[in-house]
Amino acid sequence: MDFMNSYKLWLEKACEDEDLVKELKSIDGNEKEIYERFYRSLEFGTAGLRGVIGAGTNRMNIYVVRQATQGLANYVLNKYGKGAVAISHDSRIKADLFMNEAAKVLAANGIKVYITSELQPTPVLSYLVRYFKCQAGIMVTASHNPAKYNGYKAYGEDGCQMTDVAADAVYSEIQKLDMFDDVKTMDLNEALDKGQVEYVQDDVYTSYLEEVKKQQVNPGVCKDADLKVVYTPLNGCGNKLVRRVLKEIGVNDVTIVKEQELPDGNFPTCPYPNPEIKEALQKGLDLCEEVKPDLLLATDPDSDRVGIAVKDYDGSYRLITGNEDGVMLTDYILSNRKANGTLPEKPVVVKTIVTSKLMEKLCEKYGAELKNVLTGFKYIGEVILGLEQKGEEDRYTFGFEESYGYLAGTYVRDKDAVVASMLICEMAATFKKQGKTLAQVIDGIYEEYGYYLNKTLSFEFDGAEGMQKMADIMANIRENAPAEIDGKKVVKFADYKLSVEKNLETGEEKVINLPKSNVLQYNLEGEHMVIVRPSGTEPKIKLYLTAVGENKEKASEIIESIAEDTKSILGI
């Protein structure tokens, strides 16, 4: 009954936020509701913290944020002796409050803090860490989660999300702390007066945009292309910088989805503000039918990912998957930089293991080295850091993950929807001048290399019971590995938790030289593939499916059949 003791302690001590006080009183006597809030503490990992906003150790609130920040402060002071930390936030409910609370804790520990005076995209936070030469960074965001969530992403001194070693070290410090008695804090105004906390000035954002614009492949191409764009920031923080960079490169015909233009953490018109989901883009698609643009851009709430729809052959609008957009951008960047002489020798392209296998064909064509990393853009950032440490930073050409996260350039170490929006428009303008739409471009790539279709399925498991159900599903399929899926033989199997890959035809085993991760991969005959993994940031199991066919119809038929059999095997 430890959770009941925790609840009583919070009733006594958690009195600074009226919303928490009301919530705690409202669940008095309801053991199930108390248990959900206190049965565990939110665990600090490579994705930082993420959870439902509310009272308790298993929720996002000022006390959990303060405890995490004190742990981060101890980590910084132990490692560096002193330090500086940059902090920003997106449009999430209580995001500005959590940013200020974190700043107050860091300032009380003698750490210099740079905070933003208004919400900013996640990649800007990565840039601020590097610009101010900070030892760490904090971004208050829950990315694309529903409105009830908030989160806390932690960054290292290179501007990359903390990877396993650093995150474990911070978590170790957090676990030593009593969240009420062991946390230092000070008044924000006092910290500002003393110069311990400082607001970021506008010229810094201008310098960020200058770095973004350096990533243009064909500068000036948009100025006379008459490109027409509909844009929605999905009530997040991309509105100002995305529109500004598009204007500066010559994209002047931009129509905004008014219902989703201004920041609003309630996301009233898209309850799940994820550009992977059609419903989130529906307002934009409706406006496209009226405006008839060349393409629709939709950045997620923290503006690190961007989804698109493009005009199809019949005038309707086709949703482009994250894989398709990434494949087009990779082909565009490699081919055009090669043609204009700006492609480095031995260019490096990076993708996550769940991202399209078609990338192998593209990189082979252009002589690029393809690096595969675990899911999470922090691992792409690690590749950039490794190149930088060898003096080969310029070899990095492009990196992306299938969930609409892209980065060209090394000025930040996280996915960036601002640079991606710019490059997508530049790519569309370039092809428009050639008389081609992006629908024709992706179809042309399929015709050249084969129809590599990808499908991602997510299955949600809420609450304590859900967490156990997810663990049981993963344990069961690990112990009872299928020999075939949808009648197609498994020819190669990889377990990233055990760091082993086995060729089932030859019996050969190889060590996987990546950090351990709870991911299972099944390569099927015919180049089809199934990957199963629990999400690192949401209570979900995700399936990543690949089907290869001689045409789109055949590939679609195969992928649907694989999906149904995989769900049956998992018992979902």
In this prediction, residue 333 carries a pLDDT of 98
pLDDT of residue 550: 86
- Section 336-344 average pLDDT: 96
Candidate from 68-77, 130-139, 462-471 with smallest mean pLDDT: 462-471
Active site residue 143: yes
- Distance separating alpha carbons of residues 332 and 351, to the nearest angstrom: 16
Bridge partner list, 232:
298
pLDDT at residue 355, as a whole number:
93
Write out the two tokens for 520. 């299972």
Distance CA 413, CA 237 (A): 19
Taking the domains of the chain in order of start, what are their residue ranges?
Answer: 2-200, 209-448, 451-570
φ, ψ for residue 54 (rounded to 5)?
Answer: 160, -170
Assign domain 209-448 one CATH number from 3.40.120.10, 3.30.70.260, 3.30.360.10, 3.40.50.740.
3.40.120.10
Residue recorded with tokens 């629990």: 534
Beta bridge partners of 522: 493, 530
Q: What's the mean per-residue pLDDT of the chain?
A: 95
Closest CA to 74 of 154, 188, 16: 154
The label of the residue with tokens 């978590």 reads 171
Answer whether residue 538 shows pLDDT above 80.
Answer: no
Q: Is it the case that residue 536 has pLDDT exceeding 70? A: no
* Tokens coding 11: 């009733």
Amino acid 164: pLDDT:
85
Evaluate if residue 467 carries a pLDDT over 90.
no
Please name which of 540, 521, 363 lies closest in space to residue 467, comparing C-alpha atoms. Answer: 540
Q: Is there a common fold for 2-200 and 451-570?
A: no
pLDDT of res. 515:
87
Report d(CA 422, CA 419) in Å as an integer: 5
- Left if phi > 0, otherwise alpha if psi is -120 to 50, otherwise beta: which for 290? alpha
* pLDDT, tens only, 140-183: 999 988 999 999 999 999 999 998 899 999 999 999 999 999 99
Q: How many Å is the maximal CA-CA distance in the chain?
A: 70
Residue 387: is its pLDDT beyond 90?
yes
Report the alpha-carbon distance of residue 351 to residue 337 in Å, rounded: 19
Q: Which residue has the tokens 């764009």?
A: 229
Topology of the domain covering 2-200:
Alpha-D-Glucose-1,6-Bisphosphate; Chain A, domain 3 (3.40.120)
Which amino acid is present at 475? A
Work out the angle at residue 564's Cα, subtended by the Cα atoms of residues 558 and 565, and round it to the nearest 5 degrees. Answer: 90
* Tens-place pLDDT, residues 441-466: 999 999 999 899 998 898 988 877 88
Tell me the two tokens of residue 310.
């493009």
pLDDT of 144 reads 86
Residue range 486-518, pLDDT digits in tens: 999 999 999 999 999 999 989 999 999 988 889
Q: Quick one: average pLDDT of 551-558?
A: 91
Which residues have a Cβ under 8 Å from the Cβ of 439 and sit 6 or more positions away?
310, 311, 312, 313, 318
Could you tell me which residues come within 8 angstroms of residue 12 by beta carbon, excluding any fewer than 6 positions away? none
**Residues 364, 370, 374, 377: is their CA dihedral positive or negative?**
negative
CA–CA distance, 20 with 32 (Å, rounded to integer): 17
- For the stretch 71-115, pLDDT in tens is 999 999 999 999 999 999 999 999 999 999 999 999 999 999 999
Distances (CA, A) of 107 to 85, 139, 174, 180, 381: 10, 17, 17, 17, 28
Global confidence as pTM: 0.93
Quick one: average pLDDT of 29-37?
94
Q: To the nearest 10°, the Cα dihedral for 462, 463, 467, 473? A: -50
Candidates 3.40.50.10540, 3.40.50.970, 3.30.1180.10, 3.30.310.50; correct CATH number of 451-570? Answer: 3.30.310.50
Q: How many CB atoms lie within 10 A of CB 45?
A: 17
Q: How many CB atoms lie within 10 A of CB 282?
A: 13
- Is it the case that residue 548 has pLDDT exceeding 70? yes
How crowded is residue 31: how many other Cβ atoms within 10 Å of its Cβ? 12
Amino acid 1: pLDDT: 54
CA distance linking residue 509 with residue 567, whole number of Å: 27
Quote the Cα angle for 359-278-562, to 5°: 55
Of the candidates 41, 91, 143, 517, the residue annotated as catalytic is: 143
Phi, then psi, of 306 in degrees rounded to 5: -140, 130
pLDDT confidence of residue 571:
86
Q: What is the pLDDT of residues 205-235, one digit of tens each?
A: 999 999 999 999 999 999 999 999 999 999 9
Q: Percent of the chain, pLDDT > 90?
A: 88
pLDDT of residue 552: 87
Distance CA 517, CA 535 (A): 11
Answer whether residue 373 shows pLDDT above 60.
yes
